[in-house]
Chain A
Amino acid sequence: MPAHLPPPVFAGYGLGLRREHYRDFLETRVPVDFVEVISENFMVAGGQPLDILRRVRERHPVALHGVSLSVGSADGLRGDYLARLKALVDAVDPLYVSDHLSWSRTGRFNANDLLPLPWTDEALDVVCANIQRAQDALGRAMLFENPSSYLAFADALMPEWEFIARMCERTGCGLLLDVNNVYVSAANHGFDPFAYLDGIPAGRVRQIHLAGHSQGDGLLVDTHDQNVPDGVWSLYAHALTRCGSVATMIERDADIPPLADLLAELDVARALGAAPALKESVLKEAA
């Protein structure tokens, strides 16, 4: 049975909590509406990481963002992983619990990376079964993020956005829309990123990631180590007209700049979100 996804009642602006900024978040009043943490960093038995999370949670709503659920694994999910995640969810009472539409585990091998899926009926069956198991274990709807991809499978039967729409319909899950990842995948595979945004079920988006990328050898690479580029901002503006105001954050994973730089980027997102023209178009679409 599909999970129940609550309506998007939260529409603030946040940042990914990174080690370099722990002190800022613990000792100053950082002007964000929420923070997102990598779930696995806190799925530990004890020690300082959990204490830091507890103290940050006293100040801010927290979204849990995982990288190791491996929802596309043909071998199914790991029960021990789900149990640990459930314990963290119970302790944190998070705003959202998310992971990626990807896989990392086969047999005893776990790549610890976000590997691509073929957009096939078989993969859809596997993904939906795994999502339903995870949501049952957690007792709540999850959000799934579109990853950047560098490989398109020849046997794909549908575009990524159709796969996502069918996934949401069958499982009741929500979406974490990474606008940078749409930009990167569109450039790498030659599809129209605006068509992607128009094709996903916008009403299912509860959170948006904004990030930067790098130019690799003939491909864009989702390095999350750069400022948000103009092309991603343009896509974000379009996403706002489709999704309305939802939780939006800057996701920086490497070459972490001073907190003030990230807050300045977040202000750009706030300004776009507050633009009257955008609000009008959102209202028009909703009507």
Chain B
Amino acid sequence: MNLHAMQRDFRRWLTQADAPAAHRLAGADRAGLDVYQNNYRVQLVGCLETTYPHLRTFIGDTAFRRAAVHHVTRHPPRAWTLDAYGAGFERTLRTIWPDNPALHELAWLEWALATAFVARDTVPLVPARLAAVDWDRARLDFAPSLYLARLTTNASDIWSALQAGEPAPDPTLLPEPTGVAVWRRGFVARLRVLDPLAYDALVLARAEHSFGAPCALLVERLGADAGVAQAGALLADWIGSELLVRVSASRQPRKETP
């Protein structure tokens, strides 16, 4: 058997417990192959346990293991780092428990926090150096660790309680969806619940790389004076919280005046 064929058979054994492949690899003695298969499965389940500690606590070891085994069986790893294996676990939870959105959202939060933890570093902005910025024309860049989502359940309360070592509340649907931001400030990954208008403004500012777009939104919703005041307060918060990490002089080259 050539090396390619051997490695394909090994993959079939690890991922599908394929008996003909096992026979081609080891004949009748599968003791060694069993060790490899056990190591493979245990490592992947352990990786999910490490990535989703609060989800595991929330649903219990038995349910978590059921979901993890389901995931390992259907989603062989592809990346060179085990850190990537937790991606997509939320979809597995949707398959197993389609009517429990709190679980899906709790998984989203834990994956976002884990990813933010090792996102690219940035340098905090110095407010004094922003005095001369033309905010109408400036290009805004937000933290590469920033993840935004609109949650329909109290998953953020569940996460916060478990993070504090307290009993988690029962999962419930919220009267209205609420926005959350996950990002890293310094070396600490953070989770913050945002009021709907602040969430919409942040989504817009990041998508448009501009301050003008969220300003227009706030003025439209709150009126001129209150909208401008709210925009200023949000901008100060984005800078102070290290959500906003770069302000460039211009979003686009100035057009030549004829």
Residues of chain A whose beta carbon lies under 8 Å from any beta carbon of chain B: 40, 43-51, 68, 70, 72-75, 78, 80-81, 103, 105-113, 115-118, 120, 122-123, 126, 149-155, 188, 216-219, 221
Complex: chain B residue closest to A120, CB-CB? B3
> Could you tell me the distance between the alpha carbons of A152 and B36 in the complex, rounded to whole angstroms?
13
Complex: chain A residue closest to B9, CB-CB? A106
Q: Are A150 and B15 in contact (CB under 8 A)?
A: no
Q: Are A112 and B118 in contact (CB under 8 A)?
A: no
Known interface pairs A112-B43, A112-B44; 14 further A-B residue pairs with C-beta atoms within 8 A, sorted by A's residue number: A40-B81, A40-B82, A73-B7, A106-B8, A107-B11, A109-B78, A111-B10, A111-B40, A112-B77, A122-B2, A150-B36, A151-B25, A188-B32, A221-B35
Q: Are B32 and A103 in contact (CB under 8 A)?
A: no
Q: Are A51 and B187 in contact (CB under 8 A)?
A: yes
> Could you tell me the distance between the alpha carbons of A198 and B82 in the complex, rounded to whole angstroms?
36
A163 to chain B, nearest CB (A): 13
Q: Are B119 and A46 in contact (CB under 8 A)?
A: yes
Residues of chain B whose beta carbon lies under 8 Å from any beta carbon of chain A: 1-4, 6-8, 10-11, 14-15, 25-27, 31-36, 39-40, 43-44, 76-83, 85, 117-121, 144, 184, 187
B145 to chain A, nearest CB (A): 8
Of B2, B27, B39, B120, the contact of A46 (CB 8 Å cutoff): B120
Q: With A43-B81, A154-B27, A219-B35 in contact, is A113–B40 under 8 Å at CB?
A: yes
Q: Are A115 and B10 in contact (CB under 8 A)?
A: yes
Between A and B, 12 residue pairs with Cβ closer than 8 Å are A47-B121, A70-B80, A74-B7, A103-B7, A108-B78, A110-B77, A111-B14, A111-B77, A112-B44, A113-B39, A113-B43, A150-B31
A72 / chain B contacts, CB cutoff of 8 Å: 3
A106 / chain B contacts, CB cutoff of 8 Å: 4, 7-8, 10-11
> Could you tell me the distance between the alpha carbons of A217 and B31 in the complex, rounded to whole angstroms?
8
A contacts with B: majority SS: loop
B contacts with A: majority SS: helix
Q: Are A74 and B4 in contact (CB under 8 A)?
A: yes
A218 / chain B contacts, CB cutoff of 8 Å: 31
Complex: chain B residue closest to A221, CB-CB? B35
Q: Are A219 and B77 in contact (CB under 8 A)?
A: no
B1 / chain A contacts, CB cutoff of 8 Å: 155
A45 / chain B contacts, CB cutoff of 8 Å: 118-121, 144
> Could you tell me the distance between the alpha carbons of A48 and B85 in the complex, rounded to whole angstroms?
20
Q: Are B81 and A47 in contact (CB under 8 A)?
A: no
Q: With A73-B7, A113-B40, A150-B31 in contact, is A46–B78 under 8 Å at CB?
A: no
Q: Are B80 and A68 in contact (CB under 8 A)?
A: yes
Q: Are A109 and B76 in contact (CB under 8 A)?
A: yes
> Could you tell me the distance between the alpha carbons of A263 and B1 in the complex, rounded to whole angstroms?
46
Interface core residue of B26, B34, B35, B121 (most chain A CB under 10 Å): B35
A122 / chain B contacts, CB cutoff of 8 Å: 2-3
> Could you tell me the distance between the alpha carbons of A149 and B35 in the complex, rounded to whole angstroms?
10
B165 to chain A, nearest CB (A): 20
Of A110, A152, A188, the contact of B80 (CB 8 Å cutoff): A110
Q: Are A150 and B187 in contact (CB under 8 A)?
A: no
B79 to chain A, nearest CB (A): 6
Q: Are B35 and A40 in contact (CB under 8 A)?
A: no
> Could you tell me the distance between the alpha carbons of A249 and B4 in the complex, rounded to whole angstroms?
35
Which 5 A/B pairs are nearest by Cβ-Cβ distance? A46-B121, A150-B32, A151-B32, A106-B7, A48-B187
A108 / chain B contacts, CB cutoff of 8 Å: 78
B26 / chain A contacts, CB cutoff of 8 Å: 151
A219 / chain B contacts, CB cutoff of 8 Å: 31-32, 35
A81 / chain B contacts, CB cutoff of 8 Å: 80
Q: Are A151 and B33 in contact (CB under 8 A)?
A: yes
B80 / chain A contacts, CB cutoff of 8 Å: 40, 68, 70, 78, 80-81, 105, 110, 112
Q: Are A150 and B43 in contact (CB under 8 A)?
A: no
Complex: chain A residue closest to B46, CB-CB? A254
A217 / chain B contacts, CB cutoff of 8 Å: 31, 34
> Could you tell me the distance between the alpha carbons of A50 and B121 in the complex, rounded to whole angstroms?
10
Q: Are B36 and A151 in contact (CB under 8 A)?
A: yes
> Could you tell me the distance between the alpha carbons of A194 and B177 in the complex, rounded to whole angstroms?
67
B144 / chain A contacts, CB cutoff of 8 Å: 45
Complex: chain A residue closest to B30, CB-CB? A151
